[in-house]
Amino acid sequence: MKRFLESPYVVEMVRNIAAMYAHGWDERNGGNISMLLTEQEVSDYVEPASVLRTIPTGFTEPFLEGRYFLVTGTGKYFRNVPYDPADGLGLIRMTDAGRRAELLWGFSDGGRFTSEMPAHMMSHAARLRADSDNRIVMHCHPDNLLAMTYVHDLDERAFTRTLWQMETECIVVFPEGVGVLPWMLCGTNEIGVATAEKMRSRRLVIWAQHGIYGAGRDLDEAFGLIETAEKAAGIYMKIAHLPLRQTITDEGLHQLEERFGVKAREGYLD
């Protein structure tokens, strides 16, 4: 049997964790990632019947029954994960209608999955219903997006339109817009349900004064969505206090729709 530590799943996860830390998105133990894997993918590396231990989740999500996830661990510093991936990451299988997770590899110090498990797993279920190829849910704390939630209207249409106007790429990368949640207590089932509800029709959800969730078919997609939104938020924070002379017009945004074959979220453009 091959070593899971050397699998492309762990290697790619670690590479992205290092890049997220380098961007300053994951101070201390901030941020978490979950990656959906198939039994076929994991069975080259672990024996599916060899369960190390079972960890209760505190929620129910029958849609994920029997599915495998590589997830970051609670309290783990992204800065340190590359030096000991088997400590910072765990491979789990959801069981008992999502009420428990069976650990197959990792969390070697006896730890458990991220405190944001409800938001991750409920978002996976929501995204999989919208796109059966979705595999990644990623959460982090990028400076400019956080800053923007202190000074910008949290209305989703207004927030999305501002991001689209801050960089030509934005409407092409996330034409469905961003979801925005007001400040809520993190780590709870309530914020998980609210995040998943937004994820039904979007891949980006902002948690005001906290951070952002991105979803995608692979790590590049989730990372690229967050990277693009954060870039746009950075432009906004550079210009918001200056007199605005011009911006990208709705006419320009319509031209981008046509040129790149994307459709802006219904009602978001005039």
Catalytic residues, by residue number, are: 116
Q: Which is nearer to ligand 2HA, 31 or 90 (CB)?
A: 31
Residue 106 in the binding site for ligand 2HA (CB under 6 A): no
Separation between Cα atoms, residue 119 and residue 80, nearest integer Å:
23
98 counts as binding Zn ion under rule CB under 5 A: no
Q: What's phi and psi for 123, nearest 5 deg?
A: -70, -40
Residue 211 interacting with Zn ion (CB under 5 A): yes
> Encoding tokens for residue 166?
């801050």
CA dist 213 and 211 (Å) reads: 7
61, 102, 116, 230: which one binds ligand 2HA (CB under 6 A): 116
Q: Is 214 in the site for Zn ion (CB under 5 A)?
A: no
- Ramachandran quadrant class, 178 (left: phi over 0; alpha: psi -120 to 50; beta: rest): beta
- What is the biggest distance separating any 2 CA atoms in the chain, rounded to whole angstroms? 63
**Is the Cβ–Cβ distance between 57 and 100 less than 8 Å?**
yes
CA-to-CA separations, 261 to 74, 173, 248, in angstroms, rounded? 40, 11, 18
Residue 126's contacts (CB-CB under 8 Å, 6 or more residues apart) are 196, 197, 199, 200
> Amino acid identity of 58?
G
Binding track over 20-49 against ligand 2HA, x by CB under 6 A: ---------xxxx-----------------
38 Cβ contact list (under 8 Å, min separation 6): 68
Minimum CB distance to Zn ion smaller for 95 or for 189: 189
Contact status: 216 vs Zn ion (CB under 5 A): no
Q: Is residue 184 close enough to count as binding ligand 2HA by CB under 6 A?
A: no
CA distance 211 to 225: 13
Q: Which does 115 bind (CB under 5 to 8 A by kind): ligand 2HA, Zn ion, none?
A: ligand 2HA
Nearer to ligand 2HA by C-beta: 7 or 195? 195
Binding test (CB under 6 A) with ligand 2HA, winner from 60, 80, 115, 188: 115
Indicate if the alpha-carbon torsion angle 94, 96, 100, 103 is positive or negative. negative
Paired tokens of 178: 């961003």
- Hey, which residues between 122 and 151 contact ligand 2HA (CB under 6 A)? 139
Judged by CB under 6 A, the residue of 172, 186, 240, 269 near ligand 2HA is: 186
Instruction: Determine if 114 is a binding residue for ligand 2HA (CB under 6 A).
Output: yes
Residue 198, binding choice from Zn ion, ligand 2HA, none, Cβ under 5 to 8 Å by partner class = none
**Residue 106 interacts with Zn ion (CB under 5 A)?**
no
195 binds ligand 2HA (CB under 6 A): no
- Answer with the entry of Zn ion, ligand 2HA, none that 114 interacts with (C-beta below 5 to 8 A by kind): ligand 2HA
Q: Which residues are at the interface with Zn ion (CB under 5 A)?
A: 211
Residues that bind ligand 2HA (CB under 6 A): 29-32, 114-116, 139, 186
